[in-house]
Amino acid sequence: MKGRRVIAVFIVSIAILAPGLDAQQATVALGILPFTDAKGKALEDGAAAAELSAVFARYRFIRQVERSRLDEIMKEVELGMTGLVDEGSAVKAGKVRGIEIMVFGVSAATGVSARAVHAETGRVIASATVASAGEVRVLGERLAFDIETYLARENVRRLRNDSPSIATEFWVERKGGGRLVPGKANTLKIGNSVVFRFRSNRDGYLTIVDIQPGGDVVVLYPNEFSKDNRVVAGTLYSVPSESDTFEVSVSEPAGTDTVVAFFTQRKAEWLDRSKLEGEGFWTVKGPGRFAAARGLSITATGLKKDEWESAVIEIEVGR
């Protein structure tokens, strides 16, 4: 609409189900196996793994497992006299020992790389590459950032509840036509303008939360433009509304976005407002994203099952 400001909604691209992570856990058990060469043979020099461990030690949400447990795993997964490491077996062995994330690294003439694998699903949740062994600190910071983003997203996505007495409708409308709803294969293109719509059969409060591509936890509603998130039963609400002076549009990068709407019969502070920043939409940036998402979980567990409901919309964004 002419004269309106356009607010870009950035899309994040992590969509992995993690049944092994508890909704309220404060840390994740992580193990770093010895780095290998390009052929998969374990290196005798443990400098790279040691430096990576020192980087992870700075992050409170990472709980590194004891060296003795990792040594036990290495004895199981090294293939005889070859020294080659069987990563699939390592992940399984780590899972049995309570390790939730396994980190595998490769140090070669072409650079140093590492991958973080979620033991429950066997899926890679973070990866990074640097040009040389002198940049392992950067490698670790990139991995830690992506791991925290993954954990924050999963805590938000798993907060699902269907109250027998609450019926909340939540959907996204693409300007020009098209409705995106929970439980369906939804698509948008970069540049599309969208409107969030919702209504409930009960009076209460509604909050919309998203996670952006840099891992930021974002509160889309309420916001600086609409601070009162009270809902009157049977009334249709729109974000933005016809009277708002802004629009919401989809921006880079392409990927999978998860938007969650929480309806509560009594007011619930899903996120600590004092820890949010930004104008327009409130955001938790950088360190603290996992803690913020965990805070959402704690709020949910403090509510009775019949007092709240959630709706999750997954959107695949393309160019």
Cα three-residue angle 300-291-143, rounded to 5 degrees = 130
| Confidence (pLDDT) at 10 | 36
What is the residue extent of each domain of the chain? 5-16+158-318, 28-157
Residue among 72, 77, 54 at smallest CA distance from 64: 54
Is the separation of the CB atoms in 312 and 256 below 8 Å? no
Q: What is the dihedral of CA 225, 230, 234, 238, to 10 degrees?
A: 20
Task: Look at residue 13 in the predicted model and tell me its pLDDT.
Answer: 24
| Rounded distance between C-alpha atoms, residue 158 and residue 24, angstroms | 11
Model confidence at 21, pLDDT cuts 50, 70, 90, reads: very low
Contact 123, 101 (CB under 8 A): no
How many CA atoms does the CB half-sphere of 260 hold within 13 Å? Answer: 25
Cis peptide before 240 (omega within 30 of 0): yes
| 3 confidence band (pLDDT: 50, 70, 90) | very low
Fold of domain 5-16+158-318:
Immunoglobulin-like (2.60.40)
Q: Looking at 1-10, 44-53, 242-251, 299-308, which range is the least confident one? A: 1-10
Average pLDDT over residues 280-302: 57
Query: Is the fold of 5-16+158-318 the same as that of 28-157?
Result: no
Give the HSE-up count for residue 172: Cα atoms under 13 Å, Cβ half-sphere. 30
Split at pLDDT 50, 70, 90, the class of 130 is: very high
**Average of per-residue pLDDT across 188-196:** 91
Q: Is the pLDDT of residue 196 over 70?
A: yes
The answer to whether residue 158 scores a pLDDT higher than 60 is yes
Pair 218, 212: CB distance under 8 Å: yes
Residue 207 pLDDT > 70: yes
> pTM value?
0.69
pLDDT-wise least confident of 15-24, 126-135, 153-162, 309-318 = 15-24
21 vs 270, higher pLDDT: 270
Distances 58 to 198, 258, 291 between C-alpha atoms, Å: 41, 29, 15
How far, in Å, CA of 54 to CA of 66, rounded?
14
In the three-class reduction of DSSP (H, G, I as helix; E, B as strand; rest coil), residue 41 is classed as: strand
Q: What three-state secondary structure class fits 174?
A: strand
DSSP 57: T
Mean pLDDT value across residues 46-72: 90
pLDDT for the residue 218? 77
d(CA 88, CA 77): 9
pLDDT tops 50 at residue 6:
no
Residue 66 has pLDDT above 80, yes or no: yes
The 8-class DSSP code of residue 253 comes to P
Distance, CA of 100 to CA of 181 (rounded, Å): 32
Average pLDDT across the chain, whole number: 80
User: CA 242 to CA 269: how far, in whole Å?
Assistant: 27
pLDDT at residue 238 tops 70: yes
Which of 102, 117, 28 has its CA nearest to residue 69?
A: 102
What is 28-157's CATH superfamily? TolB, N-terminal domain (3.40.50.10070)
